[in-house]
Chain A
Amino acid sequence: GDKQLTMNMFYSFQ
């Protein structure tokens, strides 16, 4: 199956 990416792979915590 496909691998699900997550938000923190794209955006960093402020």
Chain B
Amino acid sequence: STAAAERMSGLYVDNGFDQTIVHRVISQREKREVEHEILNLLGLPDRPKNTAARPPQVKRSAPKFLLDIYKNALGEDEDEKPIGEQQRRAGEFDLTGQDFRAIDQSDVIMTFAARNHHVPGVRHERGKRLWFDVSEVPPGEHIISAELRLYRSMDVKNWRKNGSYMITAYRVLKTENGTRELQYVDAVNTTAGKEGWLTLNVSEALDHWVNNPDGNKGLYLSVHPADRSVHEVRPEDVGIVGFRGNPDKQPFMVGYFKSSGIRESKVR
């Protein structure tokens, strides 16, 4: 950082023998300034939003997921060479070979917690709408892939815990006059007795939202019995945990990005 170098130049001098020696000890204020410059260089110039009173916790599903990747899927020596297949563990989030490939290719992996974001004119039937704030995606990042992660719990009190279900994600397109237009994104089958994380490929939806922020009206989640014997059912009736469920089981989206190589230090 040029600013940091200029600031540092007053603190260290060349002794004439091509050695840098300490000229004087910096003050607390200057120390804070230099620390801020380093954070700026890392792309972390400020404390995260809304965390001044209570520091964020790692108990939510999204931070837990990335901590799981950090612990289990990255090489210990942080070298260019990825960790060996046999050393990798699926972990709590059932990471697959496809996930490991995306992790290896990524320079940035970002999670987005599902939110209850009201969009005027959108009526819900039995399905669930999930909205994600993707405004913090760094500009110029190439999207490798994105997936929606949903947790299916066995803690379902009614009859619907049995049978097979098709979970389909649609992108909400228009909301004029209360009518809704949906575009198919991806679907996954789940069967009775299966508890754990389900993943849907939402790469196209994330790409659309990043490039068209005004068009971000979220995803519509529709659940049907696989044999279509009855109409759409509510996701929670088959055990899908919503954004009001247990913090470590809440739905979230994860995006894998390849860096453009442009340093995005923010101007202060």
The answer to whether A and B belong to the same complex is no
